[in-house]
Structure 1
């Protein structure tokens, strides 16, 4: 598997295993099975023929209901990745996760960009078909089939041939998809020894992800080792920005140490 070494803004090298195109394709298929299952069972529950009769053929209302009916699957990947910290159910099953190219959790804007650009990665066919139809060539069967295949495979080929296995949406959003093969080792790297009866100070540390905590800890240990106070200041600023914590500690070292302990308290003890 391809590995990627990222140098953070604090000059700490973090190594990730990049998800392969086949892992991402399998996760994509799992997610689509879930979408089709939703359509099947929801269609069984809601009788749209009865709805049509009830509304006396009111086309606008029927279309509005259909749009509402499709919203859960239309925005599935977007809200899943936002709510599940970079994962859909398919990605979670395959142990894949979306992260920022700097190693941190992507912003909501990053997730939105990835979702919007799926139209290029997986649905370019629709745009190309509209163009072909405008030229009056829509009756050319083989051309339409070729355009369909090409449009659906853009994301596949980009993931296959780009250096960081990124589709177009990843490139523009500055994200990558990693394989969490080292979950146990990963969790061990962020563990802290907490005293009996430890009381946390900053509840907002739960806004951090495990990956954020790992980067913070490794950067913190490196900065302490070399007395790199500038890095400690930058690291503190980044933590405050991400978590929106109101710090009560004046010392950067003490603040970061408490943040790591609090993160462990909320994620390991509860």
Structure 2
């Protein structure tokens, strides 16, 4: 399963899953379906209004419609944080390979090369399909040149399966009531770091996350537990305390 490292605001590197060919195709189909429906409505309105509309006015309206179609992806991705309507529905987004939000020039470059990726003379999407299927980060040509790719925006593990995916003894007593200063995203991030450690054994993730967490909730790691045990206890305490609050 291909992934890309993204540095969070807490300076923790988390692996996000790169969107596959099927999801990108489905998102593209949704976007095209929107324009098909819009085109049908447009043609009906043009037909109805043709009797009371000059030829010049009709041409202007047609130009506006096709301009919207041409610039749709560029404008949407810039205004919707790397997403079109189709991408938002499929919960995927465009992102730079270094994990940051793409710049205008990156959005522009990948948009310009849509002509080759999806242009009729180049097989009407064949170039993009082949590139996404065989490239390491599932990039079409425009992505390769702009140094972007498309990732899944949904966390691999939802919050309800993060803080509440394990059972606690009925007599469990939380050790750190300060965990209530954490929010849902903080807990997701701690869980992601733990999963990353379990899979890779990279202890640096644990040390960095522990330092950030202790500073955030203003506690020290007790002498009777190590950093890994501390983070695991934080998750347990969060579950215990938030369950009581609910």
Q: TM-score, normalised by structure 1?
A: 0.54
Q: Which of 98, 101, 118 is 1:102 aligned to?
A: 98
Q: Residues 5 and 54 from structure 1, CA distance in 2 versus in 1: closer, same or farther, beyond 3 angstroms?
A: closer
1:46-57 equivalences under 5 Å are 46-47=46-47, 50=50, 54-55=53-54, 57=55
Distance between the aligned counterparts of 1:83 and 1:40, measured in 2? 26
Q: Residues 7 and 50 from structure 1, CA distance in 2 versus in 1: closer, same or farther, beyond 3 angstroms?
A: closer
Pair 1:75-2:71 in alignment: yes
Pair 1:16-2:2 in alignment: no
Q: Which of 53, 57, 64 is 2:60 aligned to?
A: 64
Q: Residue 88 of structure 1 corresponds to which residue in structure 2?
A: 84
Q: Residue 257 of structure 1 corresponds to which residue in structure 2?
A: none
Q: Residues 105 and 183 from structure 1, CA distance in 2 versus in 1: closer, same or farther, beyond 3 angstroms?
A: farther
1:45 Cα offset (Å)? 2.4
Q: Residues 85 and 62 from structure 1, CA distance in 2 versus in 1: closer, same or farther, beyond 3 angstroms?
A: same
* Post-superposition CA distance 1:5-41 (Å, at most 9, x none): 4375x98533111111111011111110011111111
Counterpart secondary structure, 2:42: helix
Report if the CA contact (8 A) 1:3-1:15 is conserved. Answer: no
Paired residues, number: 178
Q: TM-score, normalised by structure 2?
A: 0.59
Distance between the aligned counterparts of 1:54 and 1:225, measured in 2? 68
Q: Residue 151 of structure 2 corresponds to which residue in structure 1?
A: 178
* Post-superposition CA distance 1:197-216 (Å, at most 9, x none): xxxxxxxxxxxxx9xxx7xx
Structure 1 segments unaligned to the other structure (5+ residues): 126-147, 196-209, 227-270
Q: Residue 117 of structure 1 corresponds to which residue in structure 2?
A: 113
Distance between the aligned counterparts of 1:105 and 1:42, measured in 2? 35
Q: Residue 169 of structure 1 corresponds to which residue in structure 2?
A: 142
Distance between the aligned counterparts of 2:76 and 2:145, measured in 1? 20
Q: Residues 62 and 5 from structure 1, CA distance in 2 versus in 1: closer, same or farther, beyond 3 angstroms?
A: closer
Q: Residue 239 of structure 1 corresponds to which residue in structure 2?
A: none
1:183 Cα offset (Å)? 6.8
